[in-house]
Structure 1
């Protein structure tokens, strides 16, 4: 499935573009207007940037927490540092491992979470931001012949942004 997404500055232009697409034979079932009074980004299916962030943080924690534990134990073995002499040598090594695991968990949360939020959402985040600014989006989905026709029609409205996509999940 192909997509064409055009960002238009106001509701009047978005409605005019939608009407023109309709006149040119693009089926209504393959067109959408996003913005105030129309579909939201969630209703249309733009990815929430928090979802990939959580997934990335979870994936990173699977290897950062165990390596943090091993690193904490290794650091304690190398330095023979005793945080609490009362708990003995083995207790301090375990404590070093636990502190290292906590550091690994923090790393996965901060690095994985921020990376997932910044990169995991693709172009969905800029489109969400445009909607928050009060802009309108006209989206057309379908076979290449439909999206190519829609793209040439939408160019006549001089959109702020006109982007075509191919859904990699559809064969």
Structure 2
């Protein structure tokens, strides 16, 4: 499945482009307008990178926190450090485990959340930013022939951006 995404300046230009696609007898069920008054980014399925990063951080925390606890206890057992004399042997190992769990939690937030936010958004974030700025998107989903025909039509409207994608 191929996608074509055109970013248009305002609602009037988006409606004119949509009408031109309709006049060219393109299948309208495969064409969407995204923007204020039409489908939202969430309704269309543009992923919110912050939400995805949060999911990734939680997923990583599920295994990093217990692993960090086990690693902290193991480190304490191997090194025989007596960092907290008041805690005794067992207390030192438990404190080492808690510090390891804390390190695992920080790792899930920084790596899972930060990397997910930076790398996981793809082109969704720039499109969401343009929608927030009052722009409109026209998305055409279909065969390569359909998207090529739509590209020729949409170029007449001088979109800010015209990008094609191939679904894998």
TM-superposition CA deviations, 1:28-56 (whole Å, max 9, x none): 11111111111110111111213421332
SS of the aligned residue for 2:43 comes to helix
1:139 matches 2:101:
no
* 1:26-105 → structure 2 map (5 Å cutoff): 26-76=26-76, 77-78=78-79, 80-83=81-84, 85-105=85-105
Cα distance in 2 for partners of 1:70, 1:88 equals 19
Cα distance in 2 for partners of 1:26, 1:51 equals 34
Cα distance in 1 for partners of 2:126, 2:79 equals 48
Aligned residue in 2 for 1:20: 20
How far did residue 86 of structure 1 move?
Answer: 3.5
Cα distance in 1 for partners of 2:91, 2:107 equals 24
For structure 2, the residue ranges without an aligned partner over 5 or more in a row are none
TM-score, scaled to structure 2: 0.89
TM-score, scaled to structure 1: 0.88
Cα distance in 2 for partners of 1:36, 1:51 equals 21
Alignment length (residue pairs): 167
How far did residue 112 of structure 1 move?
Answer: 1.0
